[in-house]
Amino acid sequence: MIIFDAVSKRYGDGQTALIDVSFQLGRGEIAFVTGHSGAGKSTLLKLILALEPCSAGRVFVDDVDIGNLSRRKIPYFRRKIGAVFQDHQLLMDRTVGENVALPLEISGFPARDTRRRVRAALDKVGLLTKERLYPASLSGGEQQRIGIARAVVNRPRVILADEPTGNLDPELSAEVLRVFEQFKAVGVSLLVATHDTSLIKRFPYRVLHLDEGELIDDSTMTI
């Protein structure tokens, strides 16, 4: 589902974020991306979202070579990916429900289906009762979960999560991972950037460990 083929990324200021990274993530596979901050985790996710072009090598998502995507096609490509951001990226002037509905609104979903799907997604992250509230009135952990509901509402092929459990206590973190596992079960591929080692211990999935832009460990743990 996701293929990195000898990918390097250098930013304009000469900083090297990724060096010769290669890996494949199959359909219905979960992998953690770990490493110190600045090791290249965020860059790796940005390349998959076509937010940044790679300097060398190629990135494929769902058999699409991202380097060949025209500007016009990028929005449609991004709809296949559900992304959870570290800083939530919510719209503060819209309700929780409207935030979660955003990807469906963009894709032109009928209102009735939208409502049903939004409620299902909010139910999965335990925020069904907060549908009509505004994000600002919720805690950081709850805002994080709105972001997760928004990422999964479109039933994407790929879910990218940047520190999705950063603000959550261990119980809620495990809850989030269980939501992700439900998607894995229906063939969704998930990349989860985190440095929550206790989470990795509890959910022994594959770990891609980055250090200063290099992929130094790719341990596939068997359950």
Helices and strands: H and E segment counts in the chain: 7, 10
Residue 115 makes contact with other proteins by CB under 8 A: no
As a whole number of angstroms, the distance between CA 107 and CA 12 comes to 33
Residue 11 makes contact with other proteins by CB under 8 A: no
Q: Are strands 206-211 and 16-25 parallel, antiparallel or unpaired?
A: unpaired
Q: Which is nearer to other proteins, 190 or 199 (CB)?
A: 190
Residues in contact with other proteins, shown as a per-residue x/- string from 134 to 173 under the rule CB under 8 A: ----------------x---xxxx----------------
DSSP alpha helix (H) spans, the chain: 41-48, 74-78, 96-107, 111-124, 140-152, 170-185, 197-202
Among 90, 121, 122, 207, binds other proteins (CB under 8 A): 90
Residue 6 makes contact with other proteins by CB under 8 A: no
Q: Which is nearer to other proteins, 72 or 201 (CB)?
A: 72
Residue 53 makes contact with other proteins by CB under 8 A: no
The upper half-sphere exposure of residue 6, i.e. CA atoms within 13 Å in the direction of its Cβ, equals 2
Among candidate residues 223, 219, 160, 162, the one with its CA nearest the CA of residue 195: 162
Q: Least separation, in Å, of the C-beta of 222 and other proteins? A: 31
- Which residues form the interface with other proteins (CB under 8 A)? 49, 51, 72, 75-81, 83, 85, 89-91, 93, 102-103, 105-111, 150, 154-157
